Amino acid sequence: MISAKKKENGILFTLSTNNSSYQMKADKHNVLLHLFYGQRLNDADDLSDLIFLTDTGFSGNPTYAEKDRTYSLDTLPQEVSGFGVGDYRDSMVTLLHDDGSRAAEFRYDSYEIIDGSYKIDGMPALYDTSVTKGETLVITMREAASDIILKLYYGVYEKENVITRAAKLINQGTKSVHVEKLLSMNMDMMFFDPDMIYFTGRHAFERAYERIPVKHAKIEIGSVRGTSSHQYNPSFILCDHDANEEQGDCYGFCLVYSGNFVAAAQKDQKNQVRVQMGIHPEAFCYLLEQGGELMTPQVIMSYSHDGLTTLSHQYHDILRENMCRGKYKYERRPVLINNWEATYFDFNEEKLFNIAKQASELGIEMLVLDDGWFGKRDDDYSGLGDWFVNEEKLGGSLKEIGERVNEMGMKFGLWFEPEMISQDSDLYRKHPEWAIAIPNREPNRGRYQLALDMSRDDVRDYLFEQMSDILSNAPIIYVKWDLNRSICDMYSYASGKEHSGELYHKYVLGVYDLMERLLVRFPDLLLEGCSGGGGRFDAGMLYYSPQIWCSDNTDAINRLTIQYGTSFFYPIGTFGAHVSACPNHQTGRTTPFATRSDVAMSGSFGYELDLSKISDEEKAQVKHQIAQFHDLYELTHEGDYYRLTTLDYDDCIAWAFVAKDKSRAALTLVKTQSEGNPRPTHVGMRGLDKNKKYKCTIKNDTSVINSGAAFVNAGVTIPYIMEQYESAIIMFDEV
């Protein structure tokens, strides 16, 4: 619900969801002030009196304040902070005007309330469905000394407890202006002393949970790698110091963007917390000519008074319903086997069909052919960009391969890395200008490859034609879309000097454009995002790919940390998770076959190993695991997820899925530590209906019936000694 009320000294805006309110005010000087974000207010509440103005030394006063030395842009809690006009904190907007000045002072002009969610041209955003529909407030701001318009977009999803933000600059003047910084949001939170939770890491160890208090030294995360990156995820949480899974004020911020980003929180001199998020300003400079527009990515905000679990549920629900799209948004995804860790580049027709034959016999539903099927591609030194089938290596066409796989009762999928090019490739020899590289400089290579200039129409047209030809002429229902390097040496032979600061952003827009074109052409295609695993695991990618390869690290114990961090914002069904060989190829660790499956069951399930090298006992387990995954699918992909332990819990990591109607639940735990003279393994359960009766079954041979209250309040004890890295799935069924 959105309300706008004319007051004696301004206009009061209140955005309300079922459990939260967001209030701001355009004051008598038309400065847009942030008043409150938190638990829901009453409809008549006006929190303007929370702002108490004092004369703060070295915080200047705008001319329109006249003799009021207490009124300063440097101390007011603002929705829009402009550079160079008296607010010395980090700005949301920086403009370089035609006369060489840098200033951005935006004042309130008007507003509009629109029924339905807003869209962003060329970028993903939450959309309306038959289940969930948003409402939009658009506030128009005018720059004080130029003809630049700033439109602020606020989307409200009432029952989902979600509010979104985005911004659009419009040049209505006759002179060009350079946009040096335009973030998606700025918010100054009064009287809040929070911790910041963010998710960091590296390739093969993404989204590690970190938590530190917000102080006067800025906490800033971000990426200038051309992608959202393995190193920082474009999401973070501000919460009370004592907030945990079940209690405390928690605020989430999730950027719907797959490129360079920044997110920051910092206390100012009055202990207000300035929160910002958007496109990273480094190497960003956008030329806005007469009539030109620039819109930012969307930030999805959500608030919970009841701790981190409720916050996660709100994100899981809205991303699953209002961000993911396509046939496989709801339809069950096939259990797959990927040949990569079984063969790497060393495969031929016989090896592939041996994998497919054994997989089919065990109940696996799709074979995915990974890197090495195209061009001259027997290693990672060559071939990228040459998207034609190497029929000599495959022993036939992709159509023939796919049809043979289909005859075995399996579907067929294929790996691509469209955005990349090898210098040793026919495409590079023909079009070296298509690669991102700076003239007269030796380029920096990643995995021996360069990036294609995705801002170019001709590059995207070439890729669309090549990929469409392959997908049209073979029975391919799945594409794994990979990206195996960070991007630097940013230069485009198709853009002039004045547009060089736009390239990182236009690269991302180009990727989105190509994905959209492919999905329009092939609407039933299941696209799995990947960037060396989890280097582009973000809400923007979920708009095109309802699952993303969570990490190249398939070690079950490392995956506990990776999947734990990922779960704070992203639905579990979007995690690409596979059972792989042991000793693990990334860590050398050996874990039980059942544990590898139980961990991968929390995601979109599959296998990545040589089935000919596993024992008959393990083959029998594969059949059981696939049946179990199907049995648990509605829980793992549509139920509510609960983190039952923290990563530093005593001796195990545990989590649970609970059906929306509370009729069924599955608790999974992995024993992470073992010691002599061991204590019993015990874990608390959450999410059950305390007034219902449940049958609790452990390993199908031990069961007990008790109330939900008993299991939630007292927990569950494993009735046997668990070994290190052993796992268990405990079922709860309503009786």
* Active site residue ranges: 538, 618
In terms of Cα–Cα distance, which of 180, 35, 10 is closest to 104? Answer: 180
Token pair 């629109």 is found at 114
Burial class (CB in 10 A: 0-12, 13-18, 19+), 208: middle
The H or E element that residue 89 is part of is none
Name residues whose C-beta falls within 8 Å of residue 685's C-beta, 6 or more positions apart in sequence: 644, 656, 665, 667, 711, 712, 715, 716, 732
DSSP, residue by residue, 575-604: EEEEEE-SS-TTT-----HHHHHHHHTSSE
Token pair in block for residue 79: 């929705």
Q: What is the SS3 assignment for 26?
A: strand
- Rounded Cα–Cα distance for residues 634 and 551 (Å): 23
- Rounded Cα–Cα distance for residues 169 and 142 (Å): 10
- Rounded Cα–Cα distance for residues 538 and 55 (Å): 43
In terms of Cα–Cα distance, which of 729, 425, 426, 673 is closest to 557? Answer: 673
- Rounded Cα–Cα distance for residues 547 and 368 (Å): 15
- Rounded Cα–Cα distance for residues 72 and 61 (Å): 5
Phi and psi for 689 in degrees, rounded to 5? Answer: -75, 120
- Rounded Cα–Cα distance for residues 385 and 680 (Å): 56
- Establish how many alpha carbons lie within 13 A of residue 369's alpha carbon, considering only the half-sphere containing its beta carbon: 30
Count of positions (residues) in the chain: 735
The 3 state secondary structure assigned to 154-203 is EEEECCCCEEEEEEEEEECCCCCEEEEEEEEEEEEECCCCCEEEEEEEEC
Residue type, 698: I
- Rounded Cα–Cα distance for residues 87 and 562 (Å): 39
127-133 contacts, C-beta under 8 A, 24 or more apart: 127/322, 127/323, 127/325, 128/322, 129/321, 129/322, 131/321, 132/157, 132/159, 132/160, 132/318, 132/321, 132/322
Phi and psi for 35 in degrees, rounded to 5? Answer: -105, -40
- Rounded Cα–Cα distance for residues 376 and 390 (Å): 7
In terms of Cα–Cα distance, which of 457, 437, 455, 459 is closest to 446? Answer: 437
Q: Is residue 568 within 8 Å of residue 312, measured between CB atoms?
A: yes
Token pair 């608390």 is found at 684
In the DSSP assignment, the letter for residue 120 is B
- Establish how many alpha carbons lie within 13 A of residue 6's alpha carbon, considering only the half-sphere containing its beta carbon: 1
- Rounded Cα–Cα distance for residues 528 and 443 (Å): 29
- Rounded Cα–Cα distance for residues 74 and 58 (Å): 9
- Rounded Cα–Cα distance for residues 337 and 400 (Å): 19
The residue ranges of DSSP E strands in 496-630, in sequence order, are 526-529, 547-549, 575-580, 604-608
Token pair in block for residue 691: 């007034």
| Chain center to CA of 549 | 12
- Rounded Cα–Cα distance for residues 596 and 582 (Å): 10
